Structure formats: C-alpha cells, structure tokens
Chain A
Amino acid sequence: MKKTIVIACATGVATSTVIANRVEDLCKKNNIEYQLIQCKVPEVGSYEDRADLIITSGKSPRKFKAITIKATSYITGINDEQTDKDIINALQNN
C-alpha cells in the first residue's frame, strides 16, 4: 500500500527539500510506494490524519498523530544512516 509521507520544515522549501530528496531515494531503493507531501511545519496539522509518517527538519512543536521522525542528521551528515534505518523501519512496519 502506498505510504503517505509528510516532510516539513519552517518555510517548506529549504531543509524539507533536502530531506525529501533523500527520502525519495530511500523509498525507491527499498521498493516502498510513497506519496510525498512537503509543507511548512504549521501546515502539518491538515495532513496528520492521513499521514503514515511525518518527518521534520527540527524539533516538532507538538506531538502529531502519526509517527514523527526528526531528520536533522540529513543536514549535518552526522548519524544520517541511523535516520535512514528509522525511516525504513517506520514505513515497513506500520
């Protein structure tokens, strides 16, 4: 089943774009069917009901209804492989 992944950052254009790029590659490599929604953090509320996974570039302002993963490591390059694993895990086991 197609997974709905919401990727959010403050402006919805900069860091979320970097993260979206990586998540797309990750899904393709792992044969995960996906639909990406890229938005600003304050807009996440309108997608959280149908999201399978929410990925943010920083700390999320509140707890969302879907599993939420922080992917700052994709910006710093530190522990980014662990984030890959967490994302795949969340998509394959939910």
Chain B
Amino acid sequence: MKNLFNKELVFLDIESSNANELFKVIADDLKNKGFVNEKYYDGLISREKDFPTGLQLEDYGVSIPHTDSETVKKDFIAVVRPSFPIMFSLMEDNDKNIPVDLCFFIGLKDGKKSPLVLVELISLIQNHKLILSILNENNREKIIEKIQEVRFT
C-alpha cells in the first residue's frame, strides 16, 4: 500500500477555515493530477455530512475523508495537514465535533479488493510516534520516507 503514498500528494499547512474549504483545495488538486473526477468534491461533502470521518485518538485527531469509488480514477492516499486544526464530526457520533490535525484522503477504486491497504492505513493512524513526527516535519519527501519506514506487525 505504501506506493499509494506519493510526495505529490502530501499537502502541508493548507489554509482553510473549515472542512469544506479544505475539501475544495484538495479535490481541485487531485482532479488536476488525474486521480479523481469532477464528482469527487460533491461526493466528499455529502458523505462527510451524513457519515463523518473524524477520529479521536489519544494525542491527536485525524480524519479519513473518502467517498464513492466511482469518483476515483486512480488509487491514492493523500496526506493533508491543515495549517490549523479543522473541526470534523466524529465517526462514532455525528453530534460531536473534534479538532483534526491530520487527514488521510483515501481514494480506492475497489476497497474490497484492497483490505490490506485499509488495515495498514488504520495501523498508521494509530501509530502515535509516526503521526506526531508527521505533524512536525516540513519536508514532504521525509514524510513519505517515515511512512515507508514503518514496519507492520
């Protein structure tokens, strides 16, 4: 799965005041790079509204925005660090909002065919050391290296 990460898809210190603004910036870029189609942005917004993806971990909040696979042209995982934490609703409870420090945008044409990708991504999200180091790293290449270096158990 690690080759789904790509330094061109590491977005650092993105200025936006809410999740929808962030989605716009990332969706436009992903579309320009040929990873998603024009329906991806609307898909992200509506999916996040009904089924939010905010996850509260011990020391940080993350989110995993994604939408229907029909909007994906080429598989990807984008690492997105907003300049300031962005509010997301919690996956487990739509009524609760949390500040999110880091987002992993997941685009898979067929998620059921890639269970390992998803399981490994989830283990990355739970890796405190890795996530905290991504939050403090300003070099996109180094962020990819850190992700590649993680050994899965």
Contact = CB atoms under 8 A, between A and B. Distances in A.
Interface of A: 9-11, 13-15, 17-18, 20-21, 38, 41, 57-59, 70, 72, 74-78
Contacts of A59: 92-94
Given A17-B118, A41-B51, 9 more contacts: A10-B47, A13-B69, A13-B111, A14-B111, A58-B51, A75-B55, A75-B91, A76-B57, A77-B126
Contacts of B112: 13, 17, 38
Contact of B51 (A9, A13, A21): A9
Interface of B: 47, 50-52, 55-58, 64, 66-69, 90-94, 106, 108, 110-112, 114-115, 118-119, 122, 125-126
B91 A57 contact: yes
B108 A13 contact: yes
A13 B94 contact: no
Nearest to B55: A76
A21 B92 CA distance: 19
A75 B91 CA distance: 10
Given A10-B47, A13-B69, A58-B51, A76 B119 contact: no
B107 to A, nearest CB: 10
B111 A17 contact: yes
B57 A78 contact: yes
A58 B119 CA distance: 17
A12 to B, nearest CB: 8
Nearest to B57: A76
B55 A58 contact: no
A18 B114 CA distance: 10
Q: Which of B68, B92, B110 has the most CB of A within 10 A?
A: B92
B47 A21 contact: no
B47 A58 contact: no
B146 to A, nearest CB: 19
B50 A10 contact: yes
A78 B60 CA distance: 13
B111 A58 contact: no
A84 to B, nearest CB: 15
Contacts of A41: 51
